[in-house]
Amino acid sequence: MDYPKNIRELGLDQLKEYFISIGDKKFRAMQTYEWLWKKNARKFSEMTNLSLDLRQKLEADFELNSISTDLVQNSADGTVKMRFRTFDNHLLEGVIIPTEKRFTACVSSQIGCSLSCSFCATGRMERKRNLSFEEIYDQVAILNEQSIKSFGSGLTNIVFMGMGEPLLNYKDVLKAIERITSTDSFGMSPKRITVSTAGVAKMIKKLGDDGVRFNLALSLHASNDIKRNEIMDINETNNIKSLTEALNYFYAKTKSAITLEYVLLNGVNDSLQDAKELAEIYKRIPVHTINVIEYNTVDGIAFTKSDENNTEAFVKYLSGRKVNVHIRRSRGKDIDAACGQLANK
């Protein structure tokens, strides 16, 4: 029988078949499976309760293309940024954001990004390729280990808000989440996972059709199509009306929480008229929260952060319209780990 070259594509039953086919005991399958998904082995040589000959046989028959830690940076505010290296020598980044009760991992779904949002450092990078589901899983495993080391606690939440557009790597993102939430690995509740999208309407609807149980965040960042077209190219094919319809469809199918993300750009999208239009969008979608985000400056990009007075007035207006709104303060700016800054620096 032919087996996938990537050993992490094999289920437990397939592993049992493999070990029987090479004349070994089928209980080796469970030992190997636990190394892959419980103990998070990233090399066959780490599977120390298997004989040396068997480890060498596995290495000859399969690939275990894991990512490795390339750099760890610590922010003055406690945020930790990790740079990872893939088996084919690409770089990507993930972040741990600690608070008193939560330890959130911000993970990447692509190497680079193809969307070119004009205010984002990652958007200036070329998209090299999608990350495989096991590379996404490895990020979580390594960030979890680092969280335990740095804070004495494993991860409590995961947000897909790192490099790349998750819904343009749909299959592998969902497969990674399936692994992360499985009881034979991390067993994390899907309600503690949020996937953020710049807005791919047809894929938002597909999430609804697939009945996902994780939360969804839309990076809106402008409250009308004219402004959104200017700062987010994706709006030309996924306008606010189409996204509104897609989000309503998603919620009707899943009842999962929806968040709107809105980065305040000085003189661009931070007026009271913008706030009024945003409140109107909020009423058309079953949105749980609007997160108003402080902009983090990026070298070579002219946008600047909205001043405190404008930010307070913007949020006050939304609150007065009975909008559930929160200000998301920047974390990790001193190590280029804040929202929109990930660019392998």
308-327 b/e (C-beta count within 10 Å ≥ 16 → b): eebbebbbebbeeeebebee
Give the C-alpha separation, 291 to 268, whole Å.
Answer: 17
DSSP assignment of 250-316: HHHHH---EEEEEEEBTTTS-SHHHHHHHHHHHHHTT-SEEEEEE----TT----BPPHHHHHHHHH
The active-site residue, picked from 113, 117, 120, 339, is 339
18-27 long-range CB contacts below 8 Å, 24 or more apart? 18/61, 22/57, 24/54
What stretch of H or E contains 95?
Answer: strand 91-98
Is 120 catalytic? The answer is no
Q: At what angle do helices 12-21 and 27-37 cross, to 10 degrees?
A: 130
Provide the Cα torsion 4, 9, 11, 12; round to 10°. 80
The active-site residue, picked from 93, 135, 165, 261, is 93
CB 330 within 8 A of CB 338: yes
Point out the residues that are catalytic: 93, 339
